[in-house]
Amino acid sequence: MPMNFVKHCPSCVVIIDCFEVFLERPTNLLAIAQTFSSYKHHNTEKYLIGITPPGTVSYISHGWCGRVSDKRLAENCSMLDNLLPGDTVLADKGFDIKESVGLFCARVTTPAWTRGKKQLTGIEVEQTRRIANVRIHVERVIGVIRQKFSILSETHPIDAAMAVSGDLPMLDRIVRVCCGLVNLCNSVVPRE
């Protein structure tokens, strides 16, 4: 385990975040509403990714419509089923999943935020800085995936996100292969 994790979050088993892949605008009005991401201002397919502290992709979800919240995606994909008692999940503040993770006797650590307060306390600022220093690695892994595989930066036809006869949708297969290939590259997480 990298030293940064040993010092600040020794029980961390996974760092989670979501990333989105652009889709062409569907013709069906319901599909437009379901795939439109207000964050990206585009129609998207959303994926939950989990990386281990050393920087390896350990989990990638099926694609979900871009409108789905990070919380709903995390609670309804199978990622939480892999948690063991005592595990810690690092996540961004959009992942309000403390209760769901707690059902597995694990805990989620998110940065503090000022909801209802003017500013954070000194302790909260320091804890948030520590969490951000280790949580940033999931953003870096997502960046490497997008940088190495420009296919994920393109806009895909809506058909690529649809399953045909029970198979995984083409876009899900592309994302999984890209994540697997990134695991063969050098890690973005420094060992020291």
Render pLDDT for 15-69 as a digit per residue (tens, 0 to 9). 999 999 999 999 989 989 999 998 889 999 999 999 998 889 999 999 999 999 9
90-103 mean pLDDT? 89
Q: Do residues 50 and 14 make contact, with C-beta atoms less than 8 angstroms apart?
A: yes
Q: Has residue 90 been placed in a domain?
A: yes
User: Residue 62 is part of a domain; what is its CATH number?
Assistant: 3.30.420
Q: Do residues 51 and 58 make contact, with C-beta atoms less than 8 angstroms apart?
A: yes
Q: Do residues 188 and 137 make contact, with C-beta atoms less than 8 angstroms apart?
A: yes
Return the percentage of the chain with pLDDT > 70, whole number. Answer: 96
Instruction: For residue 90, give the amino acid letter.
Output: L
How confident is the model over 137-162, as pLDDT tens digits?
Answer: 889 999 999 999 999 999 999 999 98
Measured distance CA(70)–CA(85) in Å, rounded = 23
Helix axes 170-182, 122-148, angle to 10 degrees: 110
Domain span holding position 56: 3-181
Q: Has residue 192 been placed in a domain?
A: no
| pTM of model > 0.85 | yes
Q: Do residues 66 and 35 make contact, with C-beta atoms less than 8 angstroms apart?
A: yes
* Token couple for 162: 């649809």
Q: Has residue 126 been placed in a domain?
A: yes
Q: Has residue 187 been placed in a domain?
A: no
The bridge status of strand 36-37 relative to strand 42-51 is: antiparallel
Q: How many domains does the chain have?
A: 1
CA proximity to 139, closest of 178, 91, 97, 89: 91
Q: Has residue 108 been placed in a domain?
A: yes
Q: Has residue 121 been placed in a domain?
A: yes
Q: Is the pLDDT of residue 192 over 70?
A: no
Q: Do residues 62 and 48 make contact, with C-beta atoms less than 8 angstroms apart?
A: no
